[in-house]
Structure 1
């Protein structure tokens, strides 16, 4: 129904941003990561997801399509609702979250408010392969191969490639970004951080 909202940031509070679009204020539930990119009174753009239940309609908004993709992945996991998905996304950046799931890092997930070990294990179990293969979820909630290339993480290079593919980058962009980074001596998280910095500059 809504693809994105673009307007003036009218109000901000924890887990909520109100975007004024032509005099109508849209209340979007969101993450601390997205809130950090918004400033009251400035222009803002959020990619949205409308959650329709029998008793409510709630709009969720995210600063990037990559974060929206991860949100949709998370709510596809049994037992993870939108509130839990926001909590998980608020505890990390989208890149680090994708990396945590691909590498099976339970601790990174359980540090999110209200997320226990069982939920963290289920998220990793259900999403690890999807994310490692660079799959994203379309607006209709259908999974499709984001790059058309299956990436099976066996080493730092393929794990970094997989995490970046999940964030919506093409294989060509990933290869360029990883070129020149010291893959042998750097930690996986640092490799991804450096690659993201390069792509953001580009």
Structure 2
């Protein structure tokens, strides 16, 4: 199993990065976010996942552990293959993915091309328990529960932290709120919840 590739980035195109290691170019299927992170870099390191099937051997590369972990979780869901996994992680970052799962926000997944309602609901159902205990680093700093990052929820967390609440307090206050609500409403509801304790 190839754990990672470190070498010269010699080619990129849609959903593909080619890394040359020891004179061999390894084609890694990847996400839009990884391509954006490595754009313009001469030397790169990609964490990899190798998929071996009867008709194909494919290598998938990711810029960070969070994205690789999210990819592995996605392809563990029945009916979600590597192509769908890459599409989802090209549309949302690992934090947004985890938040959507944690809050059973299947609508976020149906906005991704090729993901239908049933598949989206299956992703939320099968992965909810798996992401519940996960932590993901935010902005390369402290690890926080996955349910506290991304979109309106992320903005609400930041606002609550500015008001003096800890990350844990803010996360607890928004964990049961509807992520589709406007930020202002989320803040009001979170503050009401925090006032009760």
- TM-score normalised to the size of structure 2? 0.70
Structure having the higher helix fraction is 2
Q: Describe the SS at the equivalent of 1:115.
A: coil
1:51 is matched with 51
d(CA) in 2 for partners of 1:162, 1:58: 29
Q: Are the equivalent residues in 2 in contact too, given 1:9–1:18 (CA < 8 A)?
A: yes
2:125 is matched with 125
User: Deviation string for 1:86-136 (max 9, x for gaps)?
Assistant: 111111111111111111111211111111111100000000111012289
d(CA) in 2 for partners of 1:75, 1:18: 22
The root-mean-square deviation of aligned C-alpha atoms, in Å, is: 2.9
Determine if the alignment matches structure 1 residue 112 to structure 2 residue 96.
no
Give 2:145's match in structure 1, choosing from 140, 153, 161.
161
Q: Are the equivalent residues in 2 in contact too, given 1:10–1:41 (CA < 8 A)?
A: no
1:13 is matched with 13
Q: Describe the SS at the equivalent of 2:38.
A: coil
User: Deviation string for 1:129-184 (max 9, x for gaps)?
Assistant: 11012289xxxxxxxxxxxxxxxxxxxxxxx624479xxxxxxxxxxx9x945436
Instruction: Name structure 1 gaps, 5 residues minimum.
Output: 137-159, 166-176, 191-202
Q: Describe the SS at the equivalent of 1:37.
A: helix
Q: Are the equivalent residues in 2 in contact too, given 1:10–1:40 (CA < 8 A)?
A: no
Taking the TM superposition and a 5 Å limit, the aligned residue runs for 1:119-198 are 119-134=119-134, 161-163=145-147, 180-182=161-163, 183=170
1:156 is matched with none
Q: Are the equivalent residues in 2 in contact too, given 1:9–1:39 (CA < 8 A)?
A: no
Q: Describe the SS at the equivalent of 2:2.
A: coil
Q: Describe the SS at the equivalent of 2:51.
A: strand
Tell me by how many angstroms 1:82 deviates: 0.6
Tell me by how many angstroms 1:40 deviates: 4.7
Instruction: Give the total of aligned pairs.
Output: 156
